Amino acid sequence: MKLMQVRDATGASQDAARDVKGLSEAARRTALSAGQAVVVAHVAAHELGAAAYAIRAVMTDLPKSDQEKARQKECQWQKSRLPEKIRNLALDDQRLRNELCWFVFDNPK
């Protein structure tokens, strides 16, 4: 399968995840995160989307009082898995594009 075919199929699956009735918001955001991770191979600037969707997914369906702690925990988990060679680059990218990613990467250092 060619990259553009993968991109198109993933885009269709993400559209479907948005439209499924009865799907919890957490499940929907998890599906969007997975789809984003697959589809971004063709554009390097989109790599933060999957991480941002995953952070939003863990916050969803929690009481407001627990959402910030869940966001911080997921951010820390993600950061702990960044390879040392790209860690500073990824964190700087988060800082620069935090607004585009729903501000889920606050304090990315």
Alpha-carbon dihedral of residues 24, 80, 7, 22, nearest 10 degrees? 0
In a domain, 107, yes or no: no
Residue 106 included in any domain: no
Structural domain contains residue 47:
yes
Mind listing the pLDDT tens digit for each residue in 37-73?
Answer: 777 766 767 778 889 989 999 999 899 999 999 999 9
State the first-to-last Cα distance of the chain, in angstroms, to the nearest integer. Answer: 38
Tell me what pLDDT residue 35 has. 80
- pTM comes to 0.75
| Token representation of residue 43 | 């554009």
Burial-class residue 37 by CB neighbours within 10 Å (0-12, 13-18, 19+).
Answer: middle
Domain, as residue range, for 10? 3-101
Q: Does 108 reside within a domain? A: no
Q: What is the domain count for the chain?
A: 1
Helix (H, G, I), strand (E, B) or coil at 94: helix
Q: How confident is the model at residue 22 (pLDDT cuts 50, 70, 90)?
A: confident
